[in-house]
Each structure stands twice: as structure tokens, then as C-alpha cells.
Structure 1
Amino acid sequence: MRLTVVGCSGSAPGPASPASCYLVQLGEFSLLLDLGNGAFGALQAVLDPADVDAVYLTHLHADHCLDAAPFMVWHRYSGRSDGRAVPMYAPVGADRRLAAAYDSDGGPIDDVFDVTPIGPGSWTLGPFEVTTARTAHPVECYAVRLTAGGRSLVYTGDTGPSDAVVELARGADLLLAEAAYPDVPGLPGGLHLTGRQAGEQAAAAGVGRLLVTHVPSWVDAAAQLTAARAVFPAAELARPGGVYEV
């Protein structure tokens, strides 16, 4: 299983990275985890959009889904698509949200995306066994575990501290965990993790490695990593364009 970081800036695109988008590949199968704003341009540097086999959206905040709109433009007008609708797995209402993002008339998008609503559960997608869990976030958001060939990757999407996410990540080889909050007093609950909390979730789940991601451009990423390593030493910082073997 190969993970490529297309974009990892938290909450909005930053000067050095698009918002959230991760490419997971096994054999000839290519799956996108999120497609946040700014990500479609960077995606084209690592993969022909015609080779995207499926898209999984953790939730419908702009920094995780909005570049589905330029993907639709490419699919409809580039002349390079094979005309096949791309399977998309996303929370209920994704088709309406993305249709409105593409065009104020909100017309159908089923020529581009074959949208399947998700909730907590498990299914097979290409070579992957997929399992999801609801996260601690104000909108419906689902962390995802991908398992294949005895290896597993878990992506938190956006979450505050969550027992459900810990259970989903139990024993995973790699945890891709958001750490959007600096460690300061008065943070609201049920929204994001600090760097230390990301490390604590990794330690509680007994994962092999932690990849800290979704750090906003106005937050010190090095400090987030240091805080995570204080409780989980096998932590790294996600970098745009980075490739990780799982």
C-alpha cells in the first residue's frame, strides 16, 4: 500500500500545500481520500485524473471536498475522461453539496460521480477492506481504515479526541491523524486534535507509526510534531508530495 500526500494543509490551502487530499494506491487501484480546495492541481502532478478509481470524502467541509468541482470540470470538458462515473463514498448530502459548489443551479453530477452515502460500517472497495467510524466533529465525519494484504492505514479526517477513532485505529500500521489545534487554553471540544492529543490517540491505539497532518498554515507544524513525539516517538510530519509505504 502506498500513500502519497497530495495536500495536507489544515482548514484551508496554505502557501506550501493544498488542503487535505491523500492518494492511496495498491497495484493498479488508486483511491483518493478527500479532495480539499487546491488539491486538484497538485493531484495532476502525481496522477492522471483518468486513473482515479474511487474517491472517499470524510466530510463536507470545503477543505476536504471542494476540489470535486474542478474534477467535474476536467471530467466533462478535458476530452480525456473515458466517460465512466467515478465511485464516490461520502456522507449523506454530498451530491447536493458538490452540485451547488460546481454550479448555482445544482444540476445532477451523476455523470461524473456515482455517489454512495456512508455511515459507520464496512465494505470492500477494489483491493481494500474499508471500515469507518464517526469522529468527534461538528458535522458528520467518518474516519476510515483501509486494510489489504495484512497491512492497514487509518485516516482520521477531522476529529477531537475520540474513543471510536482509537478503536478504529487499533493495531494499524500507519495512523494519518489531524493535529490542527495548538496546545493553548480554552480550546472548544469535539472539533480538532492538538499535536499531543494526536500522539495520545496513536499510543492508545497501539499503531506502528503516526503521520501528523492537517496543520493550518498559521500553526507551528514543528511544535505540533514535537508535542506528538513527546507521547508517541514514532511520529512524523506529513509533507506535500511525500510518499509513504505502508
Structure 2
Amino acid sequence: MLLTVLGCSGSAPGPRSPSSGYLLEADGFALGVELGNGTLAELQAVRDPFTLDGLVFSHLHPDHCADFSALTVLRRWHPAPPVDPYVNRLPVHAPKEAPTRFAAAYAPDRAELEDELLTDVYDFHPLAPGVREIGPFSVTVAQVSHPCEAYGFRFTHSGVSLAYTGDTGVCDTLDGLVAGVDVLLGEASWTHRDNHPSGVHMSGLELGELATRAGAKRLLITHVAPWTDPEVVLAEARTTYTGPVELVVKGAEYPIAPR
């Protein structure tokens, strides 16, 4: 597997830093994971969006899905697409409200909303806890702790695993999802303090604790908010996790292979 970071800014884009977006590839299959503010531009720098084979969204906050509307414009209005988007509808695995929420973001006005469910160019698959096959990936889906319907994922291919927390506070389902993972791509939106609201995000300290409990072989930190010092988040994680750990950056590639 190859993980490419299209964007990693948490909660909102930062200066020259798109929000959450990733590309996961294996066996010639390209899976987009999130498409937050600014990530479609970054995707076009590395791959033609028409060559995506699927999309996965952990939840429907804008910093994880805002560029879906721009992708819809591209798929519907490109004058000479390399594939017919109406024949080759793009599979989209997302929370159950995604078709109506995405249509509302795209529709030009309320009168046209009912006719704009976007199923002409997308094939929507509602998420639920369990295991599903997406191309060459076996994907374990777990509901996590966030103020909306939200999921974390574990992608397995050829015996190697990558877990992605999505946005979440500490929760038991997350521990089960990431246990024994090869690479943990985890959010740490803020630095640690005891009076943070529960069930929203993790700190660097909490993410490091999660990686240690999981026995993760490697930790990649993402989703640091633009108003949070990433070096402090990294230092916190290093106090609770002794394995290889780093902050991801836009444009970086991470091969996910046995160590």
C-alpha cells in the first residue's frame, strides 16, 4: 500500500495547508480517503481525479468533505472526461446522510434540490460497523466518538494494515479497531489539558497512549489544527509512545509495508 497525504490540517485549512485528504493505492486501485477544503487541487497534482476508483468519508464535517462539490462539478461538466462519469459512477462510502448533504451543498437552489441527489455520477454506499471489501482492500469500519455520525477505518492488504482514526475522542471501539496495526494514522487536534470536552478529538498525549495500547508499529500524526503547535503535539506523543512517530505533511508519501 502507498499512502499519499493531500492535506492534513485539522478543523480548517491553514496557510498553504489543505484540510484532511489522503490517497491510498494498491494493485493499481486508487482510493480517496476524505476530500476536505483544498484537497482536490492537491489530488490533481498527483493523479487525474477521473482515475479514482472509490472514495471513503469518515464523517461529514467540511474539513473532511468540502471539496466533494468541486469534484461533482468536474465530473458533471468536464467537456472531455477520460471516462464517462455517468457510466462509470464513482463508488462513495460515507455516512448515511451523505447523498442529501452533498446534494444540498451542490444544488444551485432549493427548488432543484430534489433533482440533485448526484446518483447520476456517484454510487453511494452507507457506512456501518463491520468489514467490507473495497477494491483490493479489506476495510474494517468502526463507529467512533465525535459529535456526529463518524467512523474510523482499518485498511488491510496482503497482510499489512493501516488504521485511520478519523476524528474522535478516546473510545473503546477505537482501541479495538487499531489493535496490532502496522501503521496508525491518527488525529491529534490539540495539546493536552484535562478540561477539553470529551468525545471530540484527541491530544498528542492521548494519541500516543492509543498507539502504545494498540502495539502499533508506527505512528503518523495528522489533523493538527492551524492554531495548535504541531511540535508540542509531537512531543506529547513521544512521552507516551516509544515507537517511530512523525507529523505527516502535505505531499508526503508513506509506503505501508511489513517492517
Q: Output the CA distance in 1 between the equivalents of 2:104 and 2:37.
A: 15
Q: Output the CA distance in 1 between the equivalents of 2:142 and 2:32.
A: 18
Larger Rg: 2
Note the C-alpha offset of 1:185.
4.1
Question: Which one is further off, 85-94 or 184-193?
Answer: 184-193
Is residue 120 of structure 2 the alignment partner of residue 111 of structure 1? yes
Aligned-partner residue type, residue 40 of structure 2: F
Is residue 180 of structure 2 the alignment partner of residue 180 of structure 1? no
Q: Output the CA distance in 1 between the equivalents of 2:4 and 2:96.
A: 27
Superposed CA deviations along residues 195-219 of structure 1, whole A, max 9, x for unmatched, are 0101011111111101000001110
The residue number in structure 1 matching 2:169 is: 160
The residue number in structure 1 matching 2:58 is: 58
Question: Do 1:9 and 1:19's aligned partners in 2 also have CA atoms closer than 8 Å?
Answer: yes
Size of the aligned set, in residue pairs, is 246
Aligned-partner residue type, residue 103 of structure 2: A
What TM-score results when the alignment is normalised by the length of structure 1?
0.98
Note the C-alpha offset of 1:17.
1.4
Counting aligned pairs with the same residue, the percent is 44
The residue number in structure 1 matching 2:247 is: 237
Superposed CA deviations along residues 155-186 of structure 1, whole A, max 9, x for unmatched, are 00000011211111111110000000222342
1:45 match: secondary structure: helix
Aligned-partner residue type, residue 16 of structure 1: R
Is residue 89 of structure 2 the alignment partner of residue 85 of structure 1? yes
Q: Output the CA distance in 2 between the equivalents of 1:113 and 1:220.
A: 38
Aligned-partner residue type, residue 18 of structure 2: P
Q: Output the CA distance in 1 between the equivalents of 2:2 and 2:51.
A: 15
The residue number in structure 1 matching 2:104 is: 100
Is residue 192 of structure 2 the alignment partner of residue 190 of structure 1? no
The residue number in structure 1 matching 2:178 is: 169
Q: Output the CA distance in 2 between the equivalents of 1:126 and 1:231.
A: 35
After superposing on structure 2, the runs of 4+ consecutive aligned residues of structure 1 that deviate more than 6 Å are none
Note the C-alpha offset of 1:143.
0.2
Aligned with residue 146 of structure 1, among 155, 164, 168: 155
Q: Output the CA distance in 2 between the equivalents of 1:14 and 1:74.
A: 24
Note the C-alpha offset of 1:136.
0.8
Note the C-alpha offset of 1:42.
1.0
1:166 match: secondary structure: helix
Matches within 5 A, 1:10-29: 10-29=10-29
Note the C-alpha offset of 1:124.
0.9
1:42 match: secondary structure: helix
Aligned-partner residue type, residue 242 of structure 1: A
Aligned-partner residue type, residue 239 of structure 1: V
The residue number in structure 2 matching 1:69 is: 69
1:172 match: secondary structure: coil
Is residue 143 of structure 2 the alignment partner of residue 134 of structure 1? yes
Q: Output the CA distance in 1 between the equivalents of 2:206 and 2:195.
A: 15
Q: Output the CA distance in 2 between the equivalents of 1:174 and 1:100.
A: 36
Tell me the C-alpha RMSD between the 2 structures: 1.0
The residue number in structure 2 matching 1:207 is: 216
Note the C-alpha offset of 1:82.
2.3
Note the C-alpha offset of 1:16.
2.9
Aligned with residue 225 of structure 1, among 234, 246, 249: 234
Question: Do 1:211 and 1:238's aligned partners in 2 also have CA atoms closer than 8 Å?
Answer: yes
Question: Do 1:50 and 1:82's aligned partners in 2 also have CA atoms closer than 8 Å?
Answer: no
1:215 match: secondary structure: coil
Question: Do 1:4 and 1:22's aligned partners in 2 also have CA atoms closer than 8 Å?
Answer: yes
Question: Do 1:119 and 1:132's aligned partners in 2 also have CA atoms closer than 8 Å?
Answer: yes
Stretches of structure 1 that go unaligned for 5 or more consecutive residues are: none
Q: Output the CA distance in 2 between the equivalents of 1:164 and 1:5.
A: 25
2:45 match: secondary structure: coil
Note the C-alpha offset of 1:86.
0.3
